[in-house]
Each structure stands twice: as structure tokens, then as C-alpha cells.
């Protein structure tokens, strides 16, 4: 039997960037096929070519053994290919059935199409266990269910081949498990699934075969059963990497950051953080685990002084921070530094040369210049040194900040904060969009900082990262802290429940 | 992933603007052709009238002085992410500041009175810009709307003051009495004449030196100072500014103060340097030309000086052209200016994209 998808010698360039270089890929019918690779390895480009967003510069696409030209997503849909994007393409105020038939209404009047859609949805629910309330408003559904609507949309359009792009990025562990259950049942029914992810755990858990991309090239396709995460990581990066950074047990010192009853309201008046109380001690990493959007970002920004907390108090090194001195400037002076979650929106100024981004937040430091004028030579020399220490590539301080890869941008931000010797360090999503090689480096740095006695508060949506780095873990759900565990005495399932809002009292 | 719009610096700052100007002149040439005139002779009159004679050059540089100030004013605000369309009104108020200072402190000697007059211009221009700046920073009222409204307010305010308050009782003209002699900024032909160099008389005065100094100051401020750094962070990435502890509201107000003060330079050049009295509509719409100058100069002082020279040529040469070829009226000259603004400002991206594409291709071919 011919493979469901066969890509032959696909090439695609954007300007000077060769995003896909002679890529071959063969996906067997009725399998789950994983594609892994670092950011910028060309996974998304390849899938965009398959789904008709881009046209390849050269190469051939075969679906079920037939050569086919895919010039638009419509061509892809007609060929039986469906895609579930990382960011959902749903109309939130409309109902599930409306969303599913959107673009496939079948005529000027809705009645006939709607009846057909309802019948088809009922059949899909029966065949695949895709139960859903078809009259619910999409905006009211949980993220996991919204993703289910996306899958239903693809199946409704007759997809035999389903591409999922980083589908678990926004899901709780339990929702991810439900998704995998669904993918297995799709596979049993003969559907083909292509799963793009950077989480090796998921690859190992669910795929039959896995293809690895590196720098635009397809470097290997393996039977999942015959490989291991370290091998995949090595293939992705091109060298051996440690997936888990070792850290010694350590007895933490005095509390350096104490939060008491902190509540935060956003600009629209919505309560984002409710009565959070905790502390972080010297030589300790406290991780905050939670699905994205559950108040972690607001908590971090509030502590950093970027948002005025509505209520509550805050102590740094035992010193009470009054609301008048609770601003980013003052917090920096007190030794509370901050690696923000969103590098491009906050951590640096993309349009600035790197050496200017490297003083963001510190441009008033007297030693950086003479009087009101900044000493550019000095800034460049400073950054040159840091780039060497942090292995930033390319080591070009005058290069625009936006020209560096995510990992190197993050290193520039980390170097800026760490080299100023913080007492308390807030770290948000330190490895989001960062390649595996740089992740190892960043994790080592954070551990070293902890060993040096810094109090670190870590926010990440990567549960692996939280479990790997933290000494203590707090879980957040809906703005509330739902639990606290010692990292050594908990597991993913337990944290998953807490992240889903099953509190200690209820558990 | 879109095609990167990356250009070598020289292409970004010289090639693309030059292409815009050439294209604008070609289109303007077609317009001239369309009304039955010879574009080549029109071009000759334009250049001859603006650069070909000492007198013409003097006038060109006089206009250039005006444009440098208003261009810098727009640029400083632009770096903070603000679109200051109020140069016209700010310059008008600056004129009031000049008149109030020099006509009330007539007992002072020139070396005190001239700097005070300049400070008066800067202070009044800054104050007029501060109100829209404050409203933007604290109340979120859009600066484009408020600065336009403030142009009208300035315009009616000055009419009221000149007709009812500041006019000399025995004069019929809505203007103040002449400034005291020691408050006049010397003409360049006078200064050079005094050291034995004879050049033809024109309106060009030493304010040009002030304009060039202001350009250097703005460069230093924006690209080298801590304050300029903060201004650019706010303009380029407001959320990064909040992260960095830079208050966007404070920077907005400071940038508008600086912008308004720079727009005041127009009043210095026109009133202290040439008219020697405050009169109606001395700004002649130059405040708006500043927007085009800043756009074309890419908000960089060197670019602004070059763009100001170009617009100086256009204004002076255009006047000569209208005189020599009556079929090409003053209005036609405005049309040509408009075409240049269109190409340099609005259609700038057109050439940038094309040039970037060309460079990317070349790079690929070499690789």
C-alpha cells in the first residue's frame, strides 16, 4: 500500500534562509507520525507547504501515491488533509455547530447545511468518541474542548490525514492525555496523524514513527520503539545534550521574598491573582506550575512592580515594600531582578542593537556613561565580554536584537540580569522558544545561581522544566494558588490535578 | 516568515530616499508636460533659481533653516512614538513668546536679549506642545487629534492678540511694533561683509548656525543620551519600557516639550532673523512641511538636514519658476512639492521593498 503522504526533495527558501533543504518524508497510512526539531528547524514550513500556505520552490507531494499540486488550503482539504493550528481558528461567539460548518455551509440558506452538520457531528461522536455539546458557545468551552472543535472541523471536511501543530502547548496534562486517547482512536479508525511537537515525552508516548529535522534538513526517521529521548535530542541538536540538569540537595536560607495576600486586578477589572501568599528563600528555586493564562504572568509582573497589586504586601530581604516604592526601578535597586516571560515584548527592544538591549532597565546606572550621556564603547565592551561568557552566537554586540535566535536573545537577557548579582530573581518562561542546547545552558546557570544563594521564583508552562529545576512547586489555577509540594515528593499526575483546580482540600 | 526587509545602511539612508526623489521628479515632469510646458527648462529654472545665484542660495538656506527646526521637532516626537502634527501652532505660539520677551525687555543689550528671545520661543513652543502631550499621557487623548486642534487654537489666539491687544494703536496692520535693533539676529551678508567678504543680500541669518547646532544636539540626545534611550524605548516598545521602569507617560510629556521647543526655532528664524516683528501667518504652513522632512530624513538629524535642503531648493526654486514660466503657477509648485512628499513619505515603502528584494536576491546569487 502506498504511503498516505510522500514528500520528495522539497526545497523552500525565504530570502537568504533555506528553510527546507531536499526534505523527504514518508508517512504510512494509519499511523501517528511525529516530527521533532528545534525552533527554526523547518517543521512549520514543511507543514505549511503540505497544507498549502506556501508553495515549495521545488519538490513533489504525493497523497496516497498520487502526485498532487497543493496551492492553497482548499487544495489540501480536497486532498483529505486537515490541520489543527497551535492558535485556534475559531469564532468564539458562535456555537460549535456554526464553527464546524463555517466555510462549508453548502448554499445560501443555512437550514440544510446545519441539518447535515448535526448528523455528521453525531456520527463523528459515535465513531471516535468525540462527544461535545454542539450548541455550546465556543468561547465558553475549555481550551481542550476548543481543540476538539478544531479536530471536528477537520474531520467534517473529510480529512483522512490530520496535522497537529504543538497541540499540547495550551493543555493541562489531563487534557493532553484525553487528546492522545482521541488520536489513538483516530488511528484505529484508519486515520493518519502527523504530530509536530518539541516535547520528546509526547513523541515517545504516542507516535509510531518519528522524523527529526535540523536546520532545514530531515536528518532521520526512526521507529519510535527503537529510539530514546537522548538519541532524539542528540539528532535534533547535532551533539550530545543533557536533558536533566543534576542538582544537589540544599538547605535553603532565610526568606528573601515574602508575599502576603497578594491580589491583582487587570486593566479590565478582572481579578487575575487572588490572595497569593508564599515565600522564596535564599538558595531555593520555587516553581509556579500552571496552564498558561492562570495568573502566573500577572503575579510575576506584580511582584516586579510593573502592576500595582490591588491588595497585599511584599517583603524583600525582610524589608517591607511600600506601594510608593513598588516600581521596577526601585525593585532593581533592592536586588530583585526579573527575566520577563516575553523576550520580544519586554525583555529587549527588537529594533535596538544588542548592546542597547543589554542595558534595558539599567540605563540610569552611573557607571554606564558620563552624566547624561551613555558610553557606547563601554556598553559594547561589556556585552562582548558577556557574550563570550554566555556563548551568545553570533558574538556581535552591534547586531540588531531581533536578529538573534530565541536562545541567544534569552542568553542576552539572562546575562544582563544575572551579571548584576540579584538577591531575588524572577524568571518567566526561561526556555520558551529556546533550542535544546541553550536550554541545558540556561538550566545550569539557574542552578548555579541557586547554589550561590539567590532566591529564584520560576514560572513556566513546561511541567518538565518546573519539576527539573524547582525545590518547591506551587500550582496556580484561575489566579489562586491551589497547592504546594516539595519537588522531590510529587509527580506529574498530582501536579496536573492541582493545576486543573482540584485543591488540596478537595483532593 | 516574510522576506526580511534588511538593507545596508547606505541603501537605507541614501539610495532609497534618492530613488524617491528621482521618481517624484519624473512624475512631476509628466505633470509639467501635461500642462504643455517643458519639464527640462522648468528643472533648469528650479535649480538655477535656488542654487545658481548667491542670492538664490541665500534664500534656499533661509528656508532650509525653517525646515530643519520643524523637521527636528517632528523627529523627536516620532522617536517617542508620537506623531506631532502641531508644529504650526507651536511655532505660532513661539512667535508670541519671542515678541513678548524682546518687546518688553528693550533695555537689555543684544547679547542678553537675543538668547532670552530664543528661550522665549522655546518656552512658549514647549508649553503649547505640553498640553496635548499631557492629555495623551494622562488621559489617552490621541496626540494627532489634539495637536491639530491646537493649531487652530493657536491661529485664532494670535489673530485675537494681534488685532485687539498687541497691535500698535496708530497702526492698521495686525502686527506688533518692530523689535528693538539689538534683538535682531544678524544677516549672514552683514556678518560676512563686516569681515570683508561680500555676498549678495538675502534673508539668510545666523539662525542657520543655531539650526545646525540643534541638529547636533538632537543627535546627541536621541542616540547617545540616557534620556534619548528612554525616549526610543518608549517609542519602539512601550511594554519593554514598563518592564524597564521607564514611565511612558513621563517620556511622552518630555518628548512633546522638546518637540515644541524645537518648533519654536521656526519663529526665531522668521521673526528675529527676518521680519523683526510678530505678524499673522508667519509660519506659512512650514510646520506641516516638517512632517515630510522628518519622514524623508528618517527622523535622523543628518537626513533631516538633507531633506530640509531639498525642500529649501523646492521652495526657493519654485518661486523663481513661477516667476519665469507663468504657466507654472505657485499652485503647480505646490503640486510638485506634494508629489515629492507623497513619494518620500507615503510611497517610501514601495522602493524600500523593491530594493530589499534586489539585495536579497543578489546575496542569494552570491551564496
Each residue's pLDDT tens digit, A356-365: 999 999 999 9
Tell whether the model's pLDDT for residue B257 goes beyond 50: yes
Range of the domain at B288: 62-301
Among A17, A306, A356, whose Cβ lies nearest the Cβ of B242? A306
Q: Work out how many CB contacts closer than 8 A connect A with B.
A: 83
Q: Which range, A130-144, A242-256, B92-106, B168-182, has the best average confidence (pLDDT)? A: B92-106
More reliable by pLDDT, A157 or A87? A157
Residue B115 covered by a domain: yes
pLDDT tens per residue across span A270-294: 889 999 999 999 999 999 998 878 8
Task: Kindly report the three-state secondary structure assignment for every residue of B229-242.
Answer: HHHHHHHHCHHHHH
Tell whether the model's pLDDT for residue A154 goes beyond 70: yes
pLDDT tens per residue across span B214-240: 999 999 999 999 999 999 999 999 999
Q: Which CATH class is domain A245-335+422-507?
A: alpha beta
* Phi (first) and psi of residue A368, to 5 degrees: -85, 0
pLDDT for A103 equals 81
How big is the CA angle at A143 (ends A140 and A144), to the nearest 5 degrees?
A: 115
CB–CB contact A15 B364 (8 Å): yes
Residue B2 with chain A: CB contacts under 8 Å: 14
Residues A360, B241: contact at Cβ < 8 Å? Answer: no
Tell whether the model's pLDDT for residue B3 goes beyond 60: no
pLDDT tens per residue across span B60-79: 999 999 999 999 999 999 99
What is the mean pLDDT of the segment spanning A63-70? 91
Per-residue pLDDT band at B150 (split at 50, 70, 90): very high
Strand partners, B279: B175
Residues A427, A410: contact at Cβ < 8 Å? Answer: no
pLDDT for B330 equals 78
Domain boundaries for CATH 3.40.50.300 within chain A = 5-237, 245-335+422-507
pLDDT for B4 equals 42
Tell whether the model's pLDDT for residue A174 goes beyond 50: yes
Tell whether the model's pLDDT for residue A306 goes beyond 60: yes
Residue B17 covered by a domain: no
More reliable by pLDDT, B88 or B329? B88
pLDDT for B276 equals 96
Residues A52, A75: contact at Cβ < 8 Å? Answer: yes
What is the mean pLDDT of the segment spanning B163-177? 88
Tell whether the model's pLDDT for residue A269 goes beyond 90: no
Task: List alpha helices for chain B, DSSP H.
Answer: 9-10, 16-34, 39-47, 54-79, 87-104, 110-134, 143-160, 188-194, 207-224, 226-236, 238-244, 248-267, 286-296, 301-324, 330-341, 348-366
Residue B342 covered by a domain: no
pLDDT for B297 equals 87
pLDDT for A53 equals 87
pLDDT for B2 equals 36
Among A14, A349, A373, whose Cβ lies nearest the Cβ of B1? A14
Tell whether the model's pLDDT for residue A3 goes beyond 60: yes
The CA distance from A426 to A405, in Å, is: 22
CB–CB contact B243 A338 (8 Å): yes
Residue B123 covered by a domain: yes
pLDDT for A173 equals 77
Residue B225 with chain A: CB contacts under 8 Å: 372-374
Residue A304 with chain B: CB contacts under 8 Å: 243
What's domain A5-237's superfamily in CATH?
A: P-loop containing nucleotide triphosphate hydrolases (3.40.50.300)
What is the mean pLDDT of the segment spanning A124-144? 85
What is the mean pLDDT of the segment spanning A375-395? 94
**Coil, strand or helix: which one is B246?**
coil
Q: Which residue of B has its CA nearest to A361?
A: B244
B170 burial via Cβ count (<10 Å: 0-12, 13-18, 19+):
exposed
Chain A residues in contact with chain B using a Cβ-Cβ cutoff of 8 Å: 13-17, 19, 45, 304-306, 327-330, 332, 338, 340, 342, 345-352, 356, 359-361, 363-364, 369, 372-374, 376
Question: In 10 A of CB A11, how many CB atoms?
Answer: 16
Which among A32, A12, A70 is positioned nearest to A161, based on CA atoms? A32
Q: What is the mean pLDDT of chain B?
A: 91
Tell whether the model's pLDDT for residue B247 goes beyond 70: yes
CB–CB contact A16 B2 (8 Å): no
What is the mean pLDDT of the segment spanning B42-59? 92
pLDDT tens per residue across span A456-501: 999 998 888 999 999 999 999 989 999 999 998 998 888 988 988 8
Which residues contact residue A186 at a Cβ distance below 8 angstroms, ignoring those fewer than 6 apart?
A128, A162, A193
Q: How many structural domains are present in chain B?
A: 1
Residues A73, A55: contact at Cβ < 8 Å? Answer: no
What is the mean pLDDT of the segment spanning B53-62? 95
Residue B177 covered by a domain: yes
For a pLDDT cut of 90, what percent of chain B falls above it?
68
Chain A interface disruption, residue of B237, B247, B250, B300, most A CBs within 10 A? B237
* Grid cell locating B272: 528675529
CB–CB contact A374 B367 (8 Å): no
pLDDT for B224 equals 96
Per-residue pLDDT band at A445 (split at 50, 70, 90): very high
For every residue of A63-119, DSSP letters joined together read ETTEEE---SHHHHHHTTEEEE-SS----TTSBHHHHHHTT---SSSHHHHHHHHHH
More reliable by pLDDT, A505 or B300? B300
Per-residue pLDDT band at B356 (split at 50, 70, 90): confident
CB–CB contact A306 B224 (8 Å): no
The pTM is what? 0.82
CB–CB contact A374 B229 (8 Å): yes
- Return the residue matching grid coordinates 519624473: B26
Amino acid at each position: 500500500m502506498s504511503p498516505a503522504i510522500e514528500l520528495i526533495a522539497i526545497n523552500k527558501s525565504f530570502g537568504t534562509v533555506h528553510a527546507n533543504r531536499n526534505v523527504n518524508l514518508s508517512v504510512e497510512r494509519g499511523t501517528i507520525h511525529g516530527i521533532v526539531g528545534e525552533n527554526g528547524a523547518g517543521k512549520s514550513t514543511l507543514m505549511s507547504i503540505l497544507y498549502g500556505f506556501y508553495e515549495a520552490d521545488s519538490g513533489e507531494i504525493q497523497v496516497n501515491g498520487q502526485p498532487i499540486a497543493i496551492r492553497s488550503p482548499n487544495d489540501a482539504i480536497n486532498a483529505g488533509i486537515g490541520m489543527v493550528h497551535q492558535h485556534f481558528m475559531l469564532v468564539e461567539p458562535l456555537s460549535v455547530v456554526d464553527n464546524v460548518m463555517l466555510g462549508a455551509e453548502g448554499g445560501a440558506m443555512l437550514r440544510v447545511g446545519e441539518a447535515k452538520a448535526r448528523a455528521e457531528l453525531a456520527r463523528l461522536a459515535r465513531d471516535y468518541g468525540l462527544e461535545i455539546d454542539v450548541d455550546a458557545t465556543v468561547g465558553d468551552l475549555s481550551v481542550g474542548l476548543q481543540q476538539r472543535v478544531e479536530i471536528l472541523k477537520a474531520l467534517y471536511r473529510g480529512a483522512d490525514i490530520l496535522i497537529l501543530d504543538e497541540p499540547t502547548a495550551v493543555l493541562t496534562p489531563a487534557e493532553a492525555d484525553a487528546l492522545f486517547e482521541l488520536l489513538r482512536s483516530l488511528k484505529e479508525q484508519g486515520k493518519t496523524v502527523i504530530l509536530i511537537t518539541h516535547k520528546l515525552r509526547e513523541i515517545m508516548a504516542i507516535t509510531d514513527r518519528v522524523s527529526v529535522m535540523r536546520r532545514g534538513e530531515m536528518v532521520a526517521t526512526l521507529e519510535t520503539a527503537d529510539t530514546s529521548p537522548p538519541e532524539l535530542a542528540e539528532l535534533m541538536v547535532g551533539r550530545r545534550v543533557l536533558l536533566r540538569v543534576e542538582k544537589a540537595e540544599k538547605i535553603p536560607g532565610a526568606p528573601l521574598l515574602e508575599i502576603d495576600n497578594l491580589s491583582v486586578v487587570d486593566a479590565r477589572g478582572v481579578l487575575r491573582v487572588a490572595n497569593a501568599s508564599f515565600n522564596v528563600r535564599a538558595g531555593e528555586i520555587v516553581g509556579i506550575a500552571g496552564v498558561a493564562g492562570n495568573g502566573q504572568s500577572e503575579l510575576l509582573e506584580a511582584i516586579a512592580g510593573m502592576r500595582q497589586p490591588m491588595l497585599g504586601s511584599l517583603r524583600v530581604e525582610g524589608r517591607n515594600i511600600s506601594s510608593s516604592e513598588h516600581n521596577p526601578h526601585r525593585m532593581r535597586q533592592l536586588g530583585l531582578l526579573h527575566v520577563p516571560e516575553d523576550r520580544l515584548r519586554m525583555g529587549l527592544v527588537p529594533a535596538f542593537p544588542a548592546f542597547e538591549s543589554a542595558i534595558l532597565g539599567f540605563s540610569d546606572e552611573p557607571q554606564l556613561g558620563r552624566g547624561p550621556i551613555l558610553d557606547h564603547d563601554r556598553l559594547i565592551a561589556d556585552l562582548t565580554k558577556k557574550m563570550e561568557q554566555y556563548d551568545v552566537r553570533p558574538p556581535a554586540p552591534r547586531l540588531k536584537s531581533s536578529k538573534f535566535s530565541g536562545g541567544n536573545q534569552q542568553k542576552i537577557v539572562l546575562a544582563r540580569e544575572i551579571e548584576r548579582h540579584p538577591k531575588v530573581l524572577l524568571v518567566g518562561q526561561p526556555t520558551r522558544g529556546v533550542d535544546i542546547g541553550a536550554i541545558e545552558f540556561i538550566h545550569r546557570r539557574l542552578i548555579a545561581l541557586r547554589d550561590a544563594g539567590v532566591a529564584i521564583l520560576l514560572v513556566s508552562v513546561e511541567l518538565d522544566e518546573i519539576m527539573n529545576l524547582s525545590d518547591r512547586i506551587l500550582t496556580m489555577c484561575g489566579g489562586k494558588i491551589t497547592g504546594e509540594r516539595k519537588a522531590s515528593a510529587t509527580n506529574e499526575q498530582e501536579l496536573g490535578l492541582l493545576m486543573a483546580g482540584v485543591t488540596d482540600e478537595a483532593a | 516568515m516574510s522576506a526580511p526587509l534588511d538593507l545596508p545602511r547606505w541603501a537605507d539612508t541614501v539610495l532609497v530616499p534618492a530613488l524617491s526623489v528621482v521618481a517624484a521628479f519624473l512624475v512631476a515632469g509628466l505633470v509639467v508636460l501635461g500642462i504643455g510646458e517643458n519639464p527640462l527648462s522648468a528643472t533648469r529654472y528650479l535649480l538655477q533659481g535656488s542654487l545658481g545665484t548667491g542670492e538664490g542660495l541665500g534664500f534656499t538656506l533661509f528656508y532650509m533653516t525653517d525646515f530643519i527646526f520643524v523637521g527636528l521637532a517632528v523627529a523627536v516626537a516620532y522617536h517617542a512614538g508620537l506623531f506631532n502634527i502641531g508644529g504650526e501652532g507651536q511655532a505660532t505660539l513661539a512667535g508670541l513668546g519671542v515678541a513678548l520677551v524682546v518687546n518688553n525687555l528693550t533695555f537689555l543689550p543684544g547679547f542678553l536679549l537675543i538668547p532670552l528671545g530664543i528661550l522665549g520661543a522655546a518656552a512658549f513652543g514647549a508649553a503649547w506642545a505640553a498640553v496635548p502631550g499631557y492629555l495623551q499621557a494622562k488621559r489617552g487623548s490621541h496626540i494627532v487629534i489634539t495637536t491639530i486642534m491646537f493649531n487652530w487654537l493657536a491661529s485664532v489666539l494670535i489673530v485675537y492678540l494681534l488685532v485687539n491687544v498687541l497691535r500698535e494703536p496708530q497702526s492698521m496692520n495686525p502686527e506688533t511694533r518692530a523689535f528693538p535693533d539689538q534683538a535682531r539676529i544678524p544677516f549672514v551678508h552683514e556678518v560676512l561683509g563686516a569681515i570683508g567678504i561680500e555676498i549678495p543680500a538675502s534673508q539668510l541669518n545666523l539662525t542657520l548656525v543655531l539650526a545646525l547646532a540643534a541638529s547636533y544636539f538632537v543627535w546627541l540626545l536621541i542616540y547617545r543620551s540616557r534620556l534619548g534611550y528612554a525616549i526610543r524605548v518608549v517609542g519602539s516598545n512601550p511594554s519593554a519600557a514598563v518592564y524597564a521602569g521607564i514611565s511612558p507617560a513621563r517620556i511622552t510629556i518630555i518628548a512633546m516639550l522638546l518637540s515644541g521647543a524645537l518648533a519654536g526655532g521656526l519663529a526665531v528664524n522668521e521673526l528675529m532673523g527676518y521680519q523683526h516683528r510678530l505678524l499673522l501667518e508667519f509660519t506659512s504652513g512650514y510646520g506641516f512641511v516638517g512632517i515630510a522632512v522628518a519622514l524623508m530624513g528618517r527622523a535622523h538629524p543628518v537626513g533631516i538636514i538633507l531633506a530640509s535642503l531639498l525642500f529649501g531648493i523646492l521652495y526657493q526654486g519654485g518661486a523663481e519658476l513661477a516667476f519665469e514660466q507663468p504657466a507654472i503657477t505657485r499652485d503647480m509648485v505646490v503640486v510638485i512639492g506634494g508629489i515629492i512628499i507623497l513619494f518620500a513619505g507615503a510611497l517610501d515603502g514601495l522602493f524600500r521593498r523593491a530594493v530589499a528584494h534586489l539585495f536579497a536576491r543578489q546575496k542569494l546569487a552570491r551564496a
